[in-house]
Structure 1
Amino acid sequence: MPAQRSPYLPTPLDAFNLAPAEEARALLLRCLRNARWAHRLAEHRPYPDLAALLAAADEAAYDLRVVDLADALAGESLPELPEDTYSAAHTALSAAHAAYEARFGHVFVIAPGGASPQESLDRVLEGIRSRLANDPEDERVIAAEELRGLARHRLTTHLGATATRTTCHYAPRPGV
């Protein structure tokens, strides 16, 4: 009589919890863009569920130093626009982003909201334009909050119960 297969299939979070430390840190680095942040989360495995991991990611993010925040921001890039976006929209986004980066010294980050891909351009442009008026210190706080939102989104995408092995929605800058 053949052995019965267990009905339990490991979740992506189970695989993460059991992965070698280097593999876990590499996945976290792709999602968090900061080695200190990734190392801290990897060292506190195993996580009983995704909610515990997300809470730990938030807590660790609040402890990031200014240099860690700058490092995480340096690894970011603007979200990709849908392929059918007009070239004028790309030009508008590039100009708004250049103004933002000149003012604050880092790429604009915004966590994915409930907007559809077709609405993402408007959401990003509106966000850049409204945040250009911020004081640099206020913007640093907002950017840190957006990074936490991006981290939550990426971790959920990679390690949620229905996750598949896909790349992050927001790609790192080349060479990162």
Structure 2
Amino acid sequence: MPGQSRGAPGTRPPLEWFNDAPGPDAERALLSCLHSPRWARLVAGHRPYPDPASLLAAADEATYDLSPEEIAEALASEPLPSLPEDAYSAAHTALNAAHAAYEAKFGHVFVICLDGVPEHEVLDRVLEDIRSRLANDPHDEQAITRDQLRLLARERLNNALRGAGL
């Protein structure tokens, strides 16, 4: 999927590249979607995929198969959600405090999939969700975090299938 785009002459569609790539190359590409070696092996190991929907379904299923330790490994590589460039300094302070409280309670970075959230709503959504999720017990938050990782991986994989590369 790296460097492949649909419209460029002489290039193959990303799914075709992914299906035909050597195993290590396919796994490396998948690691840019979710940093879990086992997840990447599971998804790459079921190739070829007849269509993007089949690949996305396999990626979802592989996420559900990850152990708590593998989820923790993936979380360790996740960046914090970024703020819009024009966010004011008080917003940065509030978000940093919320992240610190979350990490102190749950022991890992806060993850949230913001796919489809308009840029002007990102800050409010992140602050609202992090504050809301701070009230969760660790077991419930673990399930929400796993689902957010799944959604993030799906969003990144979708972007790659649209030609954004991996």
Correspondence for 1:37: 39
* Kept after mapping to 2: 8 A contact 1:109/1:146: yes
Gaps (5+ residues) in structure 1?
1-6, 168-176
Correspondence for 1:27: 29
Correspondence for 1:163: 163
| Offset, 1:15 | 1.0
Q: One-letter code of the match for 1:59? A: E
1-structure distance, mates of 2:139, 2:157:
27
**1:119-163 Cα distance to aligned partner (Å, 9 max, x none):** 11111110100000000010000000111110110000112xx32
Q: One-letter code of the match for 1:76? A: E
Q: How many residues align?
A: 158
Residues 129-138 or 105-114, more deviating: 105-114
Correspondence for 1:14: 16
* Kept after mapping to 2: 8 A contact 1:110/1:147: yes
| Offset, 1:8 | 8.8
Q: One-letter code of the match for 1:117? A: E
Query: 2:32 aligns to what SS in structure 1?
Result: helix
Q: Map of 1:123-162 to 2, 5 A cutoff?
A: 123-159=125-161, 162=162
2-structure distance, mates of 1:98, 1:30:
25
Query: 1:111 aligns to what SS in structure 2?
Result: coil
1-structure distance, mates of 2:82, 2:93:
13
| Offset, 1:107 | 0.4
Correspondence for 1:118: 120
Q: Map of 1:79-98 to 2, 5 A cutoff?
A: 79-98=81-100
Correspondence for 2:6: none
* Kept after mapping to 2: 8 A contact 1:112/1:153: no
Q: Tell me the TM-score normalized by structure 2.
A: 0.90
2-structure distance, mates of 1:9, 1:34:
28
1-structure distance, mates of 2:58, 2:157:
11
Query: 2:60 aligns to what SS in structure 1?
Result: helix
Gaps (5+ residues) in structure 2?
1-8
- Which entry has the higher C-alpha Rg, 1 or 2? 1
Q: Tell me the TM-score normalized by structure 1.
A: 0.85
Q: One-letter code of the match for 1:123? A: R
Q: One-letter code of the match for 1:155? A: L
* Kept after mapping to 2: 8 A contact 1:112/1:149: no
